[in-house]
A = this chain, B = another copy of it.
């Protein structure tokens, strides 16, 4: 008996993705770094490293350190600036044959608007992801994503200048993630990405000082997955926008947690560093899971865990 056909495609903010597995911004460079190791054409899409209006040097080292089932990073948005991005990075990205979601960040609303304007003129960009949530820069970044008024304002301003699908990437470092998601929706976002990293730090006890030169950094990796799933769950319940779920995904089982919690697609971040082919493996295993459980279309699983919740169980 041949295995039944499974449809892995999903629709997200007007994009048709061959499958729901993307790679997360800042963890896959500009697409070419992993070209030797990864069959990139299999990916559902690539979110590129945050690009800013001007080039940025980023933070001094050490920029990363390991933590239990996770890592901290304080890269500080090092990037060559949007002009170089368009002239030097996009040509190779475009060759990869998968949807390219360009992640942008600014220090002001005007920065986001200028970025969106320039990128709207550049061919082959599938969508813009607004990074409202970088915890590692002094100005801008997370500032926007922790205040709903600012979130709405940025999204609305960008909405006015571009026809590209807009994905707002939210910060988890907030009391009320639903409120921020609503603000992004009200501003005109087509989709939400969540979550970015949790603001965190480690101390080098031998030197008696913070391990990262930036003092604080963003926590990512499996450690944060339960927080991320909870936020996707809450936002999916309250905000009628498709969600790209991320935070500690390492397997199809992890990806399914996000999808069943309400994510339309997922993005793999930190796990790429450990196992560059992790996204491909997840895509294959998602297919097998659907085959084994008789799910014809992976999209049928989106938010499926919301319908039931009863009590009293034994394992």
Contact = CB atoms under 8 A, between A and B. Distances in A.
A295 to B, nearest CB: 10
A87 interface: no
Contact of A260 (B205, B257, B313): B205
Interface string A56-92: 0001111000011110100000000000000000000
A202 interface: yes
Interface residues of A, number: 55
A201 interface: yes
Contacts of A198: 226-227
Interface stretch (A44-52, A101-109, A210-218): A210-218
A226 B72 contact: yes
Given A200-B226, A200-B229, A201-B233, A60 B219 contact: no
A209 B68 contact: no
Contact of A305 (B175, B203, B227): B203
3 smallest CB-CB distances across A and B, nearest first, come from A200-B226, A60-B311, A68-B222
9 contacts: A60-B312, A68-B223, A68-B248, A69-B222, A199-B227, A203-B261, A205-B256, A209-B305, A213-B312
